[in-house]
Amino acid sequence: MRDVFKYFTFRFLSIIPMLLLVIVIIFAGLQLTPGDPLAYMIPPEQLGSADFDIEAYKKAMGLDAPVYIQFFQWFGDLLQGELGFSLVDGSAISKMLANRLPATLELAFAALAVSSVLGILLGLVSSIRQNSAVDYGNTALGVLGISVPEFFVGIIAIQVFAITLGWLPVSGRIGYGDVTFFDRIDYLVMPALVLGFSLTAALMRYTRGTMLDVLGKDYVKTARSKGLPEWKVITKHAFRNALMPVVLLLVFRLPLLIGGTVIIESVFGWPGMGGMLLDAVSAKDYPVVMICTMLVAFMVLLASFLVDLLTALLDPRVRFE
């Protein structure tokens, strides 16, 4: 296990330069926006007061300093959680995020969990029962998954499960509070499944492919030659190896999933970061857009770090590199 730990530390340290790069890019993006680039860092109540002298304030805050000093000031603020204020309604970006981010994370994780389990399971069944009815059904699902736009899947789901059948609420989300988990999960089911739909299909197709590939490998034959029962050959020897490329596919698909939250949140009225980003884009609220972007980039980095760890756990060859 020590090699795993060493690998973890190494991977973790290696994402720090990427984090810094993202922060620099975001700062550059803010500098490029029209108007006073860092004026959004001024609290709105000060801007509103009658005797507020913007020039004096800027001087006091170092906003007239050279760009690199401004950068370090801004970076320092970031580290203390001061993310500035929206240009539109003057509310603190950190507060907006505190309201919105948990909803998006909840949705993304639910979708990721459901589609990983479902996609891999279906792919596994497909590969073992090749050319069966289940396999053909899965192939059809796979084709739909890459062709039907997710918002259309969402609209159909609303029409069928919420309006016609009345099983699930049309839209919205219940915040944390004294409601039970089961009260809240009703609202999560549809958005999570729809968001994970295309990922499920992709994972299914891919798992099927890699399983078929692995089942033809010599070490599977070795396992059979030892007299192991077929279920053990498939789970212990084949599946474990097929899982590694599938996890890699997950890395490539994660950005798509995170991006998809924007659309799915809009379809289901899910009060997450997607809606916040959309409003900000429509209103040209640059600081909010940039801070959201930064967070998304962090999420992507974190997600691919986690996936890296998973691959290292799965494949001894990776962690000895």
Binding site for other proteins (CB under 8 A): 29, 32, 143-144, 146-152, 155-156, 158-159, 163, 170-171, 215-219, 221-230, 237, 240-241, 244, 252, 255-256, 258-260, 262-263, 266-267, 277-278, 281-282, 284, 286, 289-290, 292-293, 296-297, 300-301, 304, 314-317, 320
By beta-carbon proximity to other proteins, the closer residue of 116 and 198 is 198
By beta-carbon proximity to other proteins, the closer residue of 59 and 284 is 284
Q: Which residues contact 309 (CB under 8 A, 6 or more apart)?
A: 8, 11
By beta-carbon proximity to other proteins, the closer residue of 177 and 227 is 227
How far does Cα 159 stand from its chain's mean position?
A: 26
What's the token pair of residue 309?
A: 């760890």
State in angstroms the smallest separation of the CB of 144 from other proteins: 8
State in angstroms the smallest separation of the CB of 141 from other proteins: 13
**CB-CB contact of 304 with 257 (8 Å):** no
State in angstroms the smallest separation of the CB of 48 from other proteins: 26
**Other C-beta atoms within 10 Å of 174: how many?**
14
By beta-carbon proximity to other proteins, the closer residue of 98 and 160 is 160
- Torsion, Cα 303 288 154 107, to 10 degrees, reads 40
**CB-CB contact of 93 with 74 (8 Å):** no
State in angstroms the smallest separation of the CB of 82 from other proteins: 22
- Torsion, Cα 115 116 120 122, to 10 degrees, reads -20
Long-range (24+ apart) CB contacts under 8 A made by 181-184 are: none
State in angstroms the smallest separation of the CB of 292 from other proteins: 8
By beta-carbon proximity to other proteins, the closer residue of 1 and 79 is 1
By beta-carbon proximity to other proteins, the closer residue of 29 and 102 is 29
What's the token pair of residue 299?
A: 């999420």
Torsion sign (Cα): 136, 124, 309, 260:
positive
Distance CA 150, CA 261 (A): 10
By beta-carbon proximity to other proteins, the closer residue of 189 and 300 is 300
State in angstroms the smallest separation of the CB of 263 from other proteins: 5
State in angstroms the smallest separation of the CB of 177 from other proteins: 25
